[in-house]
């Protein structure tokens, strides 16, 4: 039975790296005659490329992904590539209002924990495909969603003057540096890998700590891991070093 008035099925892309979850989403969607799966991706970088190539109507986006987390991929699609027709539903194992706020700021249309009931997820897919947003189970237009963001900003950041800084989303470069920090890289190592100065790295880290509301690199790394922005398995992966590189010992100012 068809549930919408569209001339074609809702074209869906699944971004998930766990086979069992992929299979579950496939079964749910393939049972609906007004939906079809047009692409799948297992990491954030692949998701960006596939979404640009396929132009799906709806993307089901996990947060905890290899190479680039779901928030990064969402923000990149919406801000850098202007993929406005793709309505993104964030799926996450970690659920709270701050995470929801970050997801909506990144450009998501809806946000659900991974244990969402299939009926609710199908309804959400149809709603966002019709240019609606869903927050706390409430379907609203984009203007109402923006008002929710403003209210959430005031609630989550009691100091109105610093609220924009405290909960501003991390930039793509700050997210990139956060991943290096979680892997134990020093400022010198980060600067070398990204081909920027150590002072620029320090500036990015200072901004990142302020936005996250934490005091040091360790707290930032823990927060990133807890929220799924950086994968635990990636923290033990050595970052690539170029030929003939010799990494100096870490000086106090590099930490």
- What pLDDT does residue 127 have? 96
Q: How many other β-carbons are positioned within 10 Å of the β-carbon of residue 146?
A: 13
Bridging pattern class, strands 87-92 and 110-113? parallel
- What pLDDT does residue 243 have? 36
Q: How many CA atoms lie within 13 A of 9 on its CB side?
A: 15
Q: How many other β-carbons are positioned within 10 Å of the β-carbon of residue 105?
A: 17
Alpha carbon of residue 109 to chain centroid: 12
CB 157 within 8 A of CB 167: yes
pTM comes to 0.73
Alpha carbon of residue 164 to chain centroid: 19
End-to-end CA distance of the chain: 59
Distance CA 112, CA 128 (A): 13
CB 77 within 8 A of CB 83: yes
- What pLDDT does residue 226 have? 79
10-residue mean pLDDT profile of the chain (255 residues): values are: 70 95 96 96 94 95 91 86 81 84 89 93 96 92 83 64 57 89 86 93 92 85 82 62 36 37
- What pLDDT does residue 227 have? 80
- What pLDDT does residue 75 have? 87
Report the run of H or E that residue 51 belongs to, with start and end: helix 44-54
- What pLDDT does residue 242 have? 40
- What pLDDT does residue 101 have? 85
Closest CA to 58 of 96, 97, 10, 25: 10
Order across the sheet with 138-140: list the strands: 35-41, 10-15, 58-62, 87-92, 110-113, 133-135, 138-140
**Percent composition of the chain: helix, strand, coil (DSSP 3-state, to 5):** 50, 15, 35
The domains of the chain, with CATH numbers, are 10-154 (3.40.50.2300), 170-254 (1.10.10.10)
Alpha carbon of residue 201 to chain centroid: 22
Residue labelled with tokens 């302020």: 210
Closest CA to 128 of 165, 77, 86: 86
């Amino acid at each position: 039975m068809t549930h919408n008035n569209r001339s074609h099925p809702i074209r869906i892309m699944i971004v998930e790296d766990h086979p069992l979850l992929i299979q579950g989403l496939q079964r749910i969607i393939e049972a609906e005659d007004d939906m079809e799966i047009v692409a799948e991706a297992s990491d954030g970088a692949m998701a960006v490329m596939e979404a640009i190539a396929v132009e799906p109507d709806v993307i089901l986006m996990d947060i905890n992904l290899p190479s680039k987390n779901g928030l990064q991929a969402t923000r990149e699609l919406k801000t850098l590539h202007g993929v406005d027709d793709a309505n993104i539903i964030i799926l996450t194992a970690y659920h709270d209002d701050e995470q929801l706020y970050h997801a909506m700021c990144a450009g998501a249309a809806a946000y659900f924990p991974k244990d969402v009931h299939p009926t609710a997820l199908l309804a959400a897919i149809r709603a966002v495909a019709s240019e609606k947003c869903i927050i706390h189970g409430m379907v609203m237009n984009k203007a109402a969603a923006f008002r929710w963001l403003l209210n959430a900003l005031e609630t989550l950041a009691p100091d109105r003057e610093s609220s924009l800084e405290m909960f501003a989303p991390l930039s793509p470069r700050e997210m990139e540096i956060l991943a290096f920090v979680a892997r134990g890289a020093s400022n010198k190592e980060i600067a070398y890998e990204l081909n920027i100065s150590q002072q620029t790295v320090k500036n990015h880290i200072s901004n990142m700590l302020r936005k996250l509301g934490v005091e040091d690199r360790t707290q930032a790394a823990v927060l990133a891991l807890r929220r799924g922005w950086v994968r635990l398995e990636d923290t033990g992966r050595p970052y690539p070093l170029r030929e003939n590189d010799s990494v100096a010992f870490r000086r106090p100012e590099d930490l």
